[in-house]
Amino acid sequence: MLAFLGRSILLGLITAAIILVAVPSLRPSSSVSLPQLDDEPAPLSFNYAVKRASPAVVNIYNRRYESNEGKPEPELITQGLGSGVIMSDKGYIVTNYHVVANADQVIVALQDGRILNAQLIGLDQLTDLAVLKIHADNLPVIPVNPEYKATVGDVVLAIGNPYNLGQTTTFGIISATGRFGMSFYGQQDFLQTDAAINRGNSGGALVNTRGELVGINTASFQQATNIETYGISFAIPYQLTIKIMNKLIADGRVIRGWIGIEGREINPVMARLYDANQVNGIIVIGMNPNGPAVKAGFKMNDIVIEIDGKQVTNVQSVRDIVTDIRPGTRVNVKILRDGKPMIIPVKVANRPASENKPMPLR
């Protein structure tokens, strides 16, 4: 009897072992903890940049008085929204011209919950920039690195208030630099990025991975052209932003020098045709009949190679050099005429309003 029971138990154990080997899912599970490696890489994050820059990005609401039939007093309504960047602990804020141009009242909302009235310091339609001022203590200021120069491929973050959803950060790279003539308002270099910039982001900050200001977000290509696009947005470089901001703070407007010439860039082939060894420069192809250049004795096909001691490299360099010269200043312009160098003194004038017309997109 005992021998029979022993054989039955042994056969049962052997059968159970065979079943467990044949069907692994029937085996009892056991939790095994994976070893933690000391050199395990941390997840990629731009939290440091966002924490450093985002407190200085504000929400901007513009309000305007509108008359309504049947009401004796005009009604103050909120008509638009955008973003801005605190540039100074004195309360100066940079935003876009188109965000505040038609506002009767501007309200600024800080990320710490403070809501303040803003004073309009100045507007510049050509660069689509405006400067506001608020009066408050302990203001966060956007970090700026004067040594930083944006290059294609740099990772950037766009911070703003799209569609009044609250502060939002989008991610992308610098897609191109020196995009020219992409403005509603004038000719200037833009940074192109694929970071999403939507309505309400205008005037917000484009920053690098250190949280340093790269530019002021201004528009998407779709907003500028009504063409369905994705991943093409623009920002005003911080160097130009700071230059315009300082001019607006000093004078309330941007005073631009002007000599009234239109030029095209010269290349080596054109240099040979014009009997000029100098490659860098621009060829005069047009002049304002009442401008300083005509009065000074410029002629068509003159090659401008130097203005006020600064070398001319292209059309944009001429614009930059002349714009920064105070109207009324007399400067020497070095040209080549028929292959021979000449110096022509020119009295720089104030850029007329007729020259501030919007330029076509290209």
| pLDDT, tens digit, 9 for 90 and up, residues 319-328 | 888 888 889 9
- Among 38-52, 84-98, 206-220, 258-272, the range with the most confident prediction by mean pLDDT is 84-98
What pLDDT, on the 0 to 100 scale, is given for residue 207? 96
The larger pLDDT score, comparing residue 197 to residue 180, is at: 197
CB 298 within 8 A of CB 262: no
What is the chain's Cα-based Rg?
A: 32
pLDDT average, residue stretch 86-108: 93
| Backbone phi and psi for residue 162, each to the nearest 5 degrees, phi listed first | -70, 130
Q: Say which DSSP state 345 is in.
A: E
d(CA 138, CA 122): 24
What pLDDT, on the 0 to 100 scale, is given for residue 345? 94
pLDDT average, residue stretch 4-26: 60
Cα end-to-end distance, the chain, whole Å: 102
Catalytic residues: 98, 128, 202
260 is known to lie in a ligand binding site: yes
**Domain 257-351 bears CATH identifier 2.60.40.420:** no
SS3 assignment, position 272:
helix
SS3 assignment, position 222:
helix
**Residue 300 pLDDT class (50, 70, 90 cuts):** very high
What pLDDT, on the 0 to 100 scale, is given for residue 28? 59
What pLDDT, on the 0 to 100 scale, is given for residue 182? 46
The larger pLDDT score, comparing residue 290 to residue 314, is at: 290
pTM of the model: 0.75
CATH 2.30.42.10 location in the chain: 257-351
CA angle 256, 259, 264 (to 5 degrees): 105
Least confident of 10-14, 65-69, 262-266, 346-350: 10-14
- Domain 155-251: what homologous superfamily? Trypsin-like serine proteases (2.40.10.10)
265 is known to lie in a ligand binding site: no
141, pLDDT greater than 90: yes
What pLDDT, on the 0 to 100 scale, is given for residue 220? 66
- Among 23-32, 34-43, 198-207, the range with the most confident prediction by mean pLDDT is 198-207
Beta strands in 181-281 (DSSP E): 189-193, 205-207, 213-220, 233-237, 257-258, 261-265
Q: How many CB atoms lie under 10 A from the CB of residue 162?
A: 22
185, pLDDT greater than 50: no
259 is known to lie in a ligand binding site: yes
Structure tokens at 179: 């995009």
Distances (CA, A) of 361 to 59, 148, 176, 244, 354: 29, 28, 16, 22, 18
What pLDDT, on the 0 to 100 scale, is given for residue 184? 42
212 is known to lie in a ligand binding site: no
CATH 2.40.10.10 location in the chain: 48-133, 155-251
> What's the distance, CA 58 to chain centroid?
16
Q: Which residue in this structure is represented by tokens 């994705």?
A: 230
**Residues 6 or more apart whose Cβ sits within 8 Å of residue 85:** 56, 57, 58, 93, 94, 95, 142, 203, 204, 205, 213, 216
d(CA 327, CA 219): 31
- Of the options 2.40.10.10, 2.40.37.10, 3.40.190.10, 2.40.30.10, the CATH number for the domain spanning 48-133: 2.40.10.10
Burial 20-35 (b: 16+ CB within 10 A, else e): eeeeeeeeeeeeeeee
d(CA 218, CA 190): 9
244 is known to lie in a ligand binding site: no
| Strand 155-160 versus strand 205-207 pairing type | antiparallel
d(CA 30, CA 47): 38
263 is known to lie in a ligand binding site: yes
